[in-house]
Amino acid sequence: MDDNIHAPTVPSGPTTGRSATRDLSKLSLTDLREEKERIEAELSALSSVLSSHGVDMNTPLTTFDGFPRDDIDVAQIRTTRARIIHLRNDHKDVMKWIEQRLHEHFANLQQARGTSAAADTTTISATPQPGVTGVTATSEARTVETPFAKVNSVVAGSPADQAGLKAGDTIRSFGGVNWMNHESLTKVAEVVQQNEGRPVVVKVVRKNDSGRTAELTLALVPRRNWGGRGMLGCHLVPL
């Protein structure tokens, strides 16, 4: 009998098929982002496979006396877990190259701008909104903090509405979540669940009536029983 049947079997060699045949060091930032999104989509699908069995990455696959459980497909679960481990490693590699590409892009931008860099930083005045701590826009922030989600709708009187969030805003950070680690917005949901009743700093990009782009920092407090569905009262869609 396998003494460690609940542990996934991880074969040696290349991990993800596409990543194994692609040299990440030669990919553009756009290609790396596509690879990141592909990996995250597969991770989400594999997570659903585990959930369909009622298990996660750490659920024991043996009975109390050490025999394989007969109420689940142990072989499929082990294979799925192994694939998830591979993809997580691939995801780390992709994120490493994305970070490097961002640094390179920023360095090239700074070099091209030269002494005019300071002139490219703009402060945009706007009517204060509830929960808004500042309104600024800089090309550096746009380079490093690319928006990853769009606010599709906001319910009146909801926590999102009270924080000053508006339909059409794009999210560039939600607590510690950004476009590099949001994992198809699953990390946003985790932040919401972990911060009920506590303010979460949300940085958004908004176009004003004149067409100029403003960057706002909002304080959003997730809470239940505000009179509507969910803890935010808004609908986010990934970009």
Taking only the tens place, the pLDDT of each residue in 108-123 is 766 766 644 444 444 3
Poorest-confidence range of 43-47, 133-137, 183-187? Answer: 133-137
54 or 210, which is more confident: 54
Selected residue with higher pLDDT from 114 and 229? 229
Dump the DSSP string for 163-224.
HT--TT-EEEEETTB-TTT-TTTHHHHHHHHHTTTS-EEEEEEEE-TTS-EEEEEEEE---S
- Tell me, what amino acid is at 94? V
Interval 34-46 mean pLDDT: 87
Query: By mean pLDDT, which of 12-21, 56-65, 73-82, 213-222 is the weakest?
Result: 12-21
Mean per-residue pLDDT for 42-47?
A: 88
Q: Pick 213 or 139 by higher pLDDT.
A: 213
- Please report, in angstroms and rounded to a whole number, the separation of the first and last CA atoms in the chain: 48
151: its two tokens: 């606010």
**3-class secondary structure, 156:** coil
pLDDT of 144 higher than 70:
no
As a whole number, mean pLDDT of residues 26-54 equals 86
Q: What is the mean pLDDT of the chain?
A: 77
Element at 151 (helix H, strand E): strand 149-154
Distance (Å) of CA 170 to CA 33, 108, 131, 207, 227: 18, 26, 17, 9, 25
Q: Which of 205, 99, 181, 155 is nearest to 191 (CA)?
A: 181
What global pTM score does this model have? 0.46
